[in-house]
Structure 1
Amino acid sequence: MTTADAEVRTVLEECAAATRLSRRDEILKQNSANLVIFDVLPPMKYESAESYRRSWDEWQPDAEGEAVFNLENLTITAGNDAAFAHSFIRCGGTLPDGRTFQDLVRATFCLRKVDGSWVVEHQHVSKPYVHS
């Protein structure tokens, strides 16, 4: 693993840890203000880190304790000033009524090195649609 790969892994793992602990101010800390996110939930496209932050209460379930948000099979390719990564994200938790939930989605991340730090410029989260 290169130094750049390790730095990108740290950025993504810190975001995942902040999500598990519902530390909202830290979740998008290493994201570009001009972040574009394609997500599985409506509105499906967010055109800034701030718009994504504002939507948090609309889709983030209130989990009791630490939620599940694990990057699985994270693969990173990083150069001097650009990187991309992909993984599965296993998410879930326990609701206040004791019911549990779990999901598995795919994610792709595009990062750029700005003033010596990696920032997420684009994130794409998807889930296969299965016809019944």
Structure 2
Amino acid sequence: MPAQHEVDEARIRQQVDKIVEGIRGKDLKALEQVYAADVVSFDIEPPLQHVGIAAKLKNWTNVFTLFREVSYEVRDLKLTVGTDVAYGHCFGRLSGTLGDGTATSGTWVRATFGFRKIDDDWLIAHDQASVPIDMLSGKGVADLEP
């Protein structure tokens, strides 16, 4: 029988898989199931923070409005799992076909997740997506690949 740590890590990886599936399916109900009600998100679009599940789902609604077809890819997911908190980081790329029919290969971002074990479910309590900044120009560098 696997150790509890291994079980928890597998369950967290399943939650990340649910995010990918929810995005690909434009399924807000599925996405809602992976976030804590009081999630704090430092997303790539303003403002500096989005607080609560409604704000997080609004971000995904904006994405789904922009894209006719959308995909999400996760690369190099690393997790550190404790008894009731965990964190992870990876690279993520949102891509697909925009509403006007333009295909986009997307931009790789750095993604960080903070999980809390709530009622035996691992839910995202915090997430952050970012791109590096060119210090001289002050602009994001969005053409890097992992």
State which structure, 1 or 2, has the greater radius of gyration over its C-alpha atoms. 2
Structure 1 gaps, min length 5: none
Normalising by structure 2, we get a TM-score of 0.81
Relative distance call for 1:44 and 1:20 in structure 2 (3 A) is farther
Structure 2 gaps, min length 5: 138-146
Per the alignment, residue 64 of structure 1 pairs with 68
Structure 1 runs of 4+ with >4 Å offset: none
Report matched runs for 1:1-132 at 5 Å: 2-65=6-69, 67-101=70-104, 102-130=106-134, 131=136
Per the alignment, residue 142 of structure 2 pairs with none
The CA distance in 2 between the partners of 1:62 and 1:8, in whole Å, is 28
The letter of the residue matching 2:72 is F
The CA distance in 1 between the partners of 2:34 and 2:14, in whole Å, is 10
The letter of the residue matching 1:116 is D
Cα displacement (A) at 1:12: 1.2
The CA distance in 1 between the partners of 2:65 and 2:109, in whole Å, is 16
The CA distance in 2 between the partners of 1:30 and 1:69, in whole Å, is 16
Normalising by structure 1, we get a TM-score of 0.88
**Greater relative contact order (Cα < 8 A, sep 6+):** 1
The CA distance in 2 between the partners of 1:13 and 1:72, in whole Å, is 12
The CA distance in 2 between the partners of 1:55 and 1:107, in whole Å, is 15
How many residues in Structure 1 have an aligned counterpart in Structure 2? Answer: 131
The CA distance in 1 between the partners of 2:85 and 2:61, in whole Å, is 31
Per the alignment, residue 143 of structure 2 pairs with none
Cα displacement (A) at 1:127: 0.8
